[in-house]
Amino acid sequence: MPETAPPGNGDQETDQDATASYPTTARTLPARGRARASYDRELVHSVLDEAYVCHLGFVRDGAPVVLPTLFGRVGERLYVHGSTGSRPLREAGTADPGLPVCLTVTHVDGLVLARSAFHHSVNYRSVVVHGTAVTVTDPEERSLALDAIVDQAVPGRSRDSRPADAKELAATAVVRLDLDELSAKVRTGGPNEEPEDLSLPYWAGVVPLARGYGAPVASDDLDPAVPLPHYLASL
Ligand SMILES: Cc1cc2nc3c(=O)[nH]c(=O)nc-3n(C[C@H](O)[C@H](O)[C@H](O)COP(=O)(O)OP(=O)(O)OC[C@H]3O[C@@H](n4cnc5c(N)ncnc54)[C@H](O)[C@@H]3O)c2cc1C
């Protein structure tokens, strides 16, 4: 792929009014591709709930840092956890009123192959959340958050594992980010081609990407008497 034609660069996005469920703000309105932007609560939740990881961006010493991390959603709140020694989690605890962050989630649903290199793209669903990450200290909320993070991977798993003990809880920091200021963006469909390219002899279309699960592999030291839970067998 030539550097002058990065993927998606020619995938022109037209500006149209976005429908709003979450309120739009100056910083959640894309400059480009507004027709693909959405603030629909249900859509936002579905994109978040389908994801295993998010990327947490923040500024440290004047420069941006983006870290991949697990997360969980409880209603209109996202939670991120980690060691109490984790720097962003520490910074969220010491910054007043919290750590300004931008959290993103992305699903790539298909490779969009155009006749021209310029119009190559991907089909995607993404969410960008802006806000302030604050440390959660309330034991009940922490417990809810930690369960949500485990359940984000496999729904119901938190009820089918040993809860964290006091020592583990003491070593774990939890931060919260409210779903107040955010946007989703979705691209679907085939390539946007130039009319004069339609007769070119290059294959064009979409290669769908689907998520799949392999067969669960039991730990070597698992007691053979422990059965595979139905929620894993049915994945
Ligand atoms: C997997 C993937 C690949 C992409 N590849 C390209 C590419 O190669 N080239 C390209 O130009 N664009 C690409 N995009 C789209 C890209 O994320 C931006 O939306 C796009 O660059 C337009 O930026 P903008 O100037 O409108 O954003 P800005 O005006 O800077 O954004 C303003 C606000 O709009 C919202 N917003 C912007 N983009 C998104 C998003 N994707 N999801 C949710 N909210 C958003 C955010 O709240 C943001 O703060 C890709 C998106 C995804 C998910």
Look at residue 94 in the predicted model and tell me its pLDDT.
Answer: 86
Is CATH 2.40.180.10 correct for 26-191?
no
Quick one: tokens of 93?
Answer: 């605890």
Residue nearest to atom 9 of ligand 1 (CA): 8
- Ligand 1 cavity residues, CB under 6 Å: 6-9, 27-33, 106, 108, 122, 124, 126-128, 183-185
pLDDT, average across residues 17-23:
65
Look at residue 156 in the predicted model and tell me its pLDDT.
Answer: 93
The preferred substitution site among 126, 129, 187 for testing ligand 1, maximizing ligand atoms within 8 Å of CB, is 126
pLDDT, average across residues 57-77:
96
Residue nearest to atom 40 of ligand 1 (CA): 185
Instruction: Give 211-225 pLDDT, tens digit per residue.
Output: 999 999 999 999 999
Q: Report whether pLDDT(34) > 90.
A: no
Look at residue 2 in the predicted model and tell me its pLDDT.
Answer: 31
Q: Report whether pLDDT(20) > 80.
A: no
Q: What is the pTM of this model?
A: 0.91
Look at residue 15 in the predicted model and tell me its pLDDT.
Answer: 39
Look at residue 125 in the predicted model and tell me its pLDDT.
Answer: 98
Q: Report whether pLDDT(194) > 50.
A: yes
Dist. CA 196 → ligand 1 center (Å): 28
Residue nearest to atom 20 of ligand 1 (CA): 32
Q: Report whether pLDDT(12) > 70.
A: no
Look at residue 207 in the predicted model and tell me its pLDDT.
Answer: 98
Inter-residue contact 93 to 15 (CB < 8 Å):
no
Average pLDDT value for the chain: 91
For residue 88, is the peptide bond before it cis, meaning its omega torsion is within 30 degrees of 0?
no
Measured over the CA atoms of residue 84, residue 89, residue 95 and residue 97, the dihedral's sign is: negative
Instruction: Give 142-174 pLDDT, tens digit per residue.
Output: 999 999 999 999 999 999 999 999 999 999 999
For residue 182, give the ligand 1 atom closest to its CA.
47
pLDDT, average across residues 56-72:
96
Dist. CA 144 → ligand 1 center (Å): 32
Provide long-range contacts, Cβ within 8 A and 24+ apart, for 223-231: 229/160, 231/154, 231/155, 231/156, 231/157, 231/160
Quick one: tokens of 75?
Answer: 């209603």
* Domain limits, the chain: 26-191
Q: What is the DSSP letter of 227?
A: P
